[in-house]
Amino acid sequence: MSGTVIVGAGHAGVQAAVSLRQTGYGEPIRLIGGEDCPPYHRPPLSKAMLAGEKRPEQIALRGPDFYERNGIELFPGARALALDPASKTVRLADGSLAYDKAVIATGAGARMLAGFQRDNVFVLRNMQDALSLQDALIPGANLVIVGGGFIGLEVAATARKLGLAVDVVEMQDRLLTRAIPAALSDYICRRHRAEGVRVHLGAQIERVVAEEGRIASVALSNGAALAADLVLIGVGNAPEIGLAAEAGASTAMGGILVDGAMQTTLPDVYAIGDCTAFDLPVTGSRVRLESVQNAVDQGRTVARQITGQGGSYDPVPWFWSDQFDMKLQMTGLSVSGSGFTVRGDVESGSFSLVETLGERLVAVHSVNAVADHMASRRLVGAPGRFDRSAAADPDTPLKACLAAPAGPPRRAARIAGAEP
């Protein structure tokens, strides 16, 4: 038997390999990692790793001897050049690997803006990006961050704690437009400004001034001129779909299209993680998610499929972000036409925005309210009438706000995950 070849050694790929062994899979497992270092946790790259609080070996996903002990052959620094469904092989630079099942877990790469390829311009997606940016974060330096998403804001918080002057340039009229409701965006913006981050909303970069191969300043559409000792581009990621698309796999929303079993349109080829697009039953829509929860849970799902245990991927998505003293935790996805109930005291810095559509709980967005978040992961998507007026009282447990549906009890299908 040729076993399983997994292309990509991030959270999704490593979890798929681990879960295969945990479910009794006895065939060969080959794990192709594009980076020279062992697989690692990505969330610390913009926080503890970037701040110098943790070294690369301290954020490894598994111990140094784990892969050998579990019969997982790791190919660090290798790149898959082509996948051939007809011969069931993955071609590398120095040969080919045969497979019975192939799993594409190639993730996503950082987007770079045209005209910004200069010596002091950075992105943050992998270990080498973090190490390069870490060296450049000198106290007193001027950092300009293009993009007010999670990566940009996490780096802004880290850089301020290290003593840099920070400007965040966001072309939308609020931060994190696609990820969180406006009220939470406004709160996060106020907190960043209170910490000294200069946030420029509804602004675009009109002109770049470069000197000796480095950006020295940027001019914004609002008239501001920003000094720039270094620039971080944080305008989102591009799914790495080339390997699957060139082999003939169908794509959607910029990702590799998979069904509930993580199966692509190619025989015996699966895809998991940030590079996938799939139908999400809890919302009734097709989505592409970039989160550790999604990557890990899809890794578990594909292992069950390969080992014949079945089951489909039907998660309640959740996310988190740490910025300054804010622990942001989000369960579910916002939907059009929903309403929001504030739970707790916003000014205290510990509260949740409870999002409902009619009598259905669709999402909970929490700031330093871990109990709300943990409860929401069991409640979002569950059947029954949710009492939003009761949820406004922080002394009422969230679980007490959900009335059981009439008739035989039903459980909401979901895949459990674990936050690092």
Six token digits for residue 196: 């000294």
- The answer to whether 49 touches 57, Cβ cutoff 8 Å, is no
Q: What is the 3-state secondary structure (H, E, C) of 333-402?
A: CCCCCCEEEEEEEHHHCEEEEEEEECCEEEEEEEECCHHHHHHHHHHCCCCCEECHHHHCCCCCCHHHHE
CA gap 199, 213 in Å, rounded: 26
60 contacts: CB under 8 Å, gap ≥ 6: 38, 39, 40, 41
CA gap 333, 365 in Å, rounded: 10
Q: How far is CA 359 from CA 80, 134, 340, 382, 384, in A?
A: 48, 47, 12, 12, 8
Give pLDDT, residue 406: 63
Q: How far is CA 405 from CA 381, 386, 391, in A?
A: 13, 10, 18
Give pLDDT, residue 416: 32
Give pLDDT, residue 376: 97
Angle at 253 between CA 248 and CA 255, to 5 degrees: 50
- Fold category of 325-403 in CATH: Enolase-like; domain 1 (3.30.390)
Residue 248 CB coordination number (10 Å): 13
Angle at 355 between CA 295 and CA 276, to 5 degrees: 20
Backbone angles phi, psi at 19, to 5 degrees: -65, -35
DSSP-derived secondary structure letter, 405: P
Give pLDDT, residue 362: 95
3-state secondary structure of 101: strand
Fold matches, 4-109+238-306 and 325-403: no
Give pLDDT, residue 404: 75
Looking at the DSSP bridge assignments, the partners of residue 214 are 211
Give pLDDT, residue 177: 93
Dump the DSSP string for 283-339.
Answer: TTEEE---SHHHHHHHHHHHHHHHTT---------EEEEEETTEEEEEEE---TT-E
Give pLDDT, residue 147: 97
Query: What ranges do the domains of the chain cover?
Result: 4-109+238-306, 112-233, 325-403
CA gap 54, 11 in Å, rounded: 19
112-233 CATH: 3.50.50.60
Six token digits for residue 393: 């009282």
Give pLDDT, residue 1: 81
Tens of pLDDT along the chain (420 residues) come to 899 999 999 999 999 999 999 999 999 999 999 999 999 999 999 999 999 999 999 999 999 899 999 999 999 999 999 999 999 999 999 999 999 999 999 999 999 998 899 999 999 999 999 999 999 999 999 999 999 999 999 999 999 999 999 999 999 999 999 899 999 999 999 999 999 999 999 999 999 999 999 999 999 999 999 999 999 999 999 999 999 999 999 999 999 999 999 999 999 999 999 999 999 988 888 999 999 999 999 999 999 999 999 989 999 999 999 999 999 999 999 988 999 999 999 999 999 999 999 999 999 999 999 999 999 999 998 999 999 999 999 999 999 999 977 655 443 333 333 332
Q: What is the pTM of this model?
A: 0.93
CA gap 291, 93 in Å, rounded: 30
Give pLDDT, residue 415: 32
CATH top-level class of 4-109+238-306 = alpha beta
Give pLDDT, residue 418: 31
Six token digits for residue 362: 């669709």
